[in-house]
Chains A and B, each alone.
Chain A
């Protein structure tokens, strides 16, 4: 038998875990200020994450999905996008969203049980958090279809996890995007765990990037703890999409250093050693080391940054805690453009019995 098709999956790493450069640096990395912007946001994201978990533990926030360990993957994705592009996240991509102008108090509002967190004063056309796994891949493809039909040089980006690659919507979105050459980039942040199910029980394939092959688009695997590699890969994929050359699947390999959410206890299903090993590869250290080696960063800078991040997060927490509750009518006011007659009475009932339920 002869071979009629073959595939190759490239892998990219620019900085190794020690912060040493192991490949050619992309153009943006030659500007120290640009790298510092990336690093500062990664630190802010982690500071925010720690605070959010504390808020949940002290009863001031609902269940929260941590982004611990994903900072390079998320900030790298956000930094490669343009403001007019459209982001369709899952539910822990805060680093990308902060870059795009989502506010920390909006994240807190959302996990604090308040829909106004999804209203985003910043990126008006970005999708809100998406809990039903991988359904947002289709929204990104649809947004890309809208841009393509209107001839706008805009792209859509969706993010799912490794578990999301088992969903039909993921395959359906890839297939559509490739067959229509849509300006979209599908990102899989492979953090090795879908709640308690490890990657090896999720798929028999050697990589998740190769799922692109079945759809007929390029797939690339990147070190998801290397923010330079992630951003470079995303910039290339977005350039390609913007030029009309079609979609790309990017697999960013990282590790979920946290529990799945604050409602989860990962120690029940994974080994301590594995987590300790993963900490040796975590994303903040290597970019910091690189910046220190190039003379762009110092211990004093680090101390000042941490203090500044704490100040910013504290301000966001204060704004969140000071937010007046939504009026009860807000449940009804955005159901339809105009509330149907048949629901007016229900809204009146809600008003009449406000504060009468639960443990009051």
Chain B
């Protein structure tokens, strides 16, 4: 059993699925000989050849559009957008075609593609390399949005995303690409989509988060434990469609809800979590819902990026607000 990082979990899932399914191809900018700028596709072209691991011209709409074309004709393309800051040209193709083709042909065609992209801040990257705009994709009907937060979930959720018969936007929190090693068995076992993962059980407060923020949140939970507050930490994992039931069950137990995300607050995914709990679980709440998020500012350049990202202290402060009278 190998101890691997999150990004190695991505690579391992790609390799497993390419080995076991001829329809799977990997494509994107620099994914071939170079193995991707983060090395997510390292070694794949050497192993599977340039026909199945393709360097494309530098055009993101093209990467998404050609993947839709390939997927509609029986392939399983997994395409990489180099950074989330460059993902916006794909929005037209994803919202107008990937998410619609099955519905508008009443099931005649479908789009089993995965659009992978590293996202989020915290690695001192240049401008346009640190945003978290998952809400933009979560708003698209017909498109799944999945975010892993550990090596095991990167492996298992990516396998599930590739095997899913519908389009999946798979966003990889690059700040934690190499932060943690975990034992992952390379056995091709997928993890379920459309479900939350409970990372830590607790009775006093529910904290919903995803991606890299699971790390700060778990640290905050450990600190709060010392003060006698038992936090339940839930990794949303599939951002859309959302597993609200797991969150509602937790809130029924704890009576308190804090949502933590890197992305800007305004119309962020946290608003959807809060609205869902307000609609269906408001009588379980002992305190107003609190959101601890990135600010509604432009993502700053890296000198200030850790001022933007929710810190352990901000999360603890947010949790404590739910205990105020």
Contact = CB atoms under 8 A, between A and B. Distances in A.
Interface core residue of B73, B97, B108 (most chain A CB under 10 Å) = B73
Interface in B29-58: 51-52, 56-57
B69 interface: yes
Contact of B61 (A143, A168, A179): A168
A145 B93 contact: no
Interface of B: 25, 51-52, 56-57, 59, 61-62, 64-75, 77, 89, 92-93, 96-97, 101-110, 141-142, 144, 164-166, 194, 241-245
B107 A334 contact: yes
Contacts of B64: 138
A330 interface: yes
A115 interface: yes
Interface in A327-360: 330-331, 333-337, 340-343
A334 B62 CA distance: 26
A184 to B, nearest CB: 9
Interface in A113-153: 115-116, 118-120, 124-125, 127-128, 132, 135, 137-147, 149-150
A118 B105 contact: yes
Contacts of B52: 149
A169 interface: yes
A141 B69 contact: yes
Interface residues of A, number: 45
Given A335-B102, A341-B241, A138 B141 contact: no
Given A172-B61, A341-B194, A343-B241, A142 B66 contact: yes
A207 interface: no
Nearest to A337: B165
A336 B70 contact: no
Contacts of A330: 106
B194 A340 contact: yes
A179 B107 CA distance: 33
A142 B108 contact: no
B65 A139 contact: yes
Given A135-B97, A341-B243, A341-B245, A176 B103 contact: no
Given A141-B66, A146-B73, A146-B74, 9 more contacts: A118-B105, A128-B101, A128-B105, A138-B62, A139-B69, A142-B65, A143-B73, A172-B57, A335-B103
Contacts of B110: 337
B69 A143 contact: yes
B69 A142 contact: yes
Contacts of B72: 125, 127, 139, 142-143
B123 to A, nearest CB: 29
Given A132-B92, A169-B61, A341-B194, A176 B106 contact: no
A1 to B, nearest CB: 29
Given A115-B105, A116-B106, A172-B62, A146 B165 contact: no
